[in-house]
Amino acid sequence: MSRWYHRLWKNWVGQSANPSNLAELEKLRQIQQDLCVESQLDTPYLVLIIGSCVIATLGLLSNSAAVIIGAMIVAPLMMPIRGLAFGALIGDASLFRRALLSLVVGTTIAVILSCLLGVIAGFSVFGSEILARSTPNLLDLGIAVAAGGVCGYALVEPKVSATLAGTAIAVALMPPVCVVGLGLSQGNWVLSWGAFLLFLTNLLGIALACMVAFILAGYAHWTKARGVLAVATVLTSVLVVPLGISFLELTRQNRLEANLRQALLRGTITFQRVELIRARTDWYTNPPQTRLTVRAQQPITPHQVKLLEEFLERKMGQKFVLIFDVNPIQEVRADRDAEPNRQESRR
């Protein structure tokens, strides 16, 4: 710590130790001490990790968004990431190692614990809350960067420190880690990899934005920090490729579903009531294969499917293979059985 303090003294005070520089240096030292405490691998940190992991895992298994939000507030993973960013930016190796150790240990415990809970639960099919965290895209990176900027600014501006709970909810660090463990409990490597990519996106996005916030606030010199900032930018930029692919698939899927709903309501199938429940597309087949789950009062014929495929080809500019899973609609009313009884009583 003495070397770090001496380096800050040279950078900020120099040869003219005026009161404003001394006050600024004292504030920097206080921030560093606060981050050391936040990034400490101690009993309260481990208790929060275990508690938030259990809450998040059970919330994911029960498909409860409210429970998952509660776990986001309890989870302490945001603090060591902020310490990691500040330590790397100012060259404080002690703070950097401490924050990195807390982050690695906390993440590892959460993965192992969620995996064990997944094995105990023995669910064969996961709900939408779990599956939603397996396909990160550029939107998630944008959320992480915005949340990281607020998190970093909250460190140097006490007035906005109360927003950290909302920031933790927005960026959601613990649920993706738990999904990694749940995927491992089933041997679902695709699910685990997707969730880990989301966690990595949040981690790098928060760290990079925190560094930028610290520099803009004047707590690190650009000339001293540009090397570390460049490394963080490159690492984050590497994620743009897989996240961009997922984002393109998301936009294509949304466009496809919009065209399908339009066709089912006003296009090729206009003579019967058809309700689209879900559409899932395998974009890796050629042509892409879309499985539609619908409700209909009458059977859907192969000719109607062919007309719908032609409609989509004109709208989307590519061919699709459509497969319908039809759930019949049956109307049942209580007064239908009662009507014959009333007529019988009149006789």
Residue where a domain terminates, one of 238, 261, 282: 238
For the cut 80, the answer to whether the pLDDT of residue 332 exceeds it is no
Confidence band for 298, pLDDT divided at 50, 70 and 90: confident
The residue type of 172 is: A
Show the tokens assigned to 327: 């759930």
Task: Provide the domain limits for residue 296.
Answer: 246-328
Give 11's DSSP letter: I
Whether 268 and 223 map to the same domain: the answer is no
Strand partners, 275: 295
Query: What pLDDT is recorded for position 195?
Result: 93
Last residue of a domain, one of 238, 262, 289: 238
Q: What is the DSSP letter of 158?
A: G
- In the block, tokens 């296009």 appear at 267
Distance separating alpha carbons of residues 24 and 20, to the nearest angstrom: 6
- What pLDDT is recorded for position 9? 44
Asked if residue 39 and residue 146 are part of one domain, the reply reads yes
Of the residues 182, 208, 238, the one at which a domain ends: 238
How is residue 267 annotated by DSSP? Answer: S
What end-to-end distance do the CA atoms of the chain give, in Å?
100
**What is the spatial order of strands in the sheet that 274-282 belongs to?**
274-282, 289-296, 321-328
**315 CB burial (10 A radius; 0-12, 13-18, 19+):** middle
Instruction: Place 45 in a pLDDT band, splitting at 50, 70 and 90.
Output: very high
341 found inside a domain: no
Residue partners of 64: CB distance under 8 A and separation at least 6: 129
Contact 125, 71 (CB under 8 A): no
Rg (CA), the chain: 27
Total domains present in the chain: 2
Please report which confidence band the pLDDT of residue 1 belongs to, taking 50, 70 and 90 as the band edges. very low
CB distance 148 to 138 below 8 Å: no
Examine the domain organization and report whether 219 and 250 are in the same domain. Answer: no
Instruction: Take residue 107 and report the two structure tokens written for it.
Output: 């993440």
Residue 74: pLDDT over 60: yes
CATH number for 117: 1.20.1080
**Minimum mean pLDDT range among 116-125, 154-163, 319-328:** 154-163
Cα torsion angle, 215, 225, 105, 177, sign? positive
Q: What pTM value is reported for the model?
A: 0.75
What does the pLDDT look like over 76-118, one tens digit per residue? 888 899 889 888 888 888 889 999 999 999 999 999 999 999 9
Instruction: State whether 233 and 269 are in the same domain.
Output: no
pLDDT in the model for residue 104: 95
DSSP H or E segment with residue 293: strand 289-296
Distance between CA 174 and CA 177 in Å, rounded? Answer: 5
Instruction: Tell me: do 9 and 151 sit in the same domain.
Output: yes
Looking at residue 315, which CATH number applies to its domain? 3.30.70.1350
Instruction: Provide the pLDDT for residue 16.
Output: 41
Please give the average per-residue pLDDT across 300-327, as a whole number. 83
Mean pLDDT across the stretch 159-169? 61
User: Does residue 344 lie within any of the structural domains?
Assistant: no
Asked whether residue 208 is domain-assigned, the answer is yes
Determine the Cα–Cα distance for residues 313 and 256; give it in Å rounded to an integer. Answer: 10
- Confirm if 156 and 219 have CB atoms less than 8 A apart: yes
In the block, residue with structure tokens 């909810």: 169
Q: How far apart are CA 198 and CA 186, in angstroms?
A: 19
Residue range 161-188: average pLDDT?
Answer: 79
Pick from 34-38, 173-177, 239-243, 267-271: least confident: 267-271
Beta carbons of 195 and 134 less than 8 angstroms apart: yes
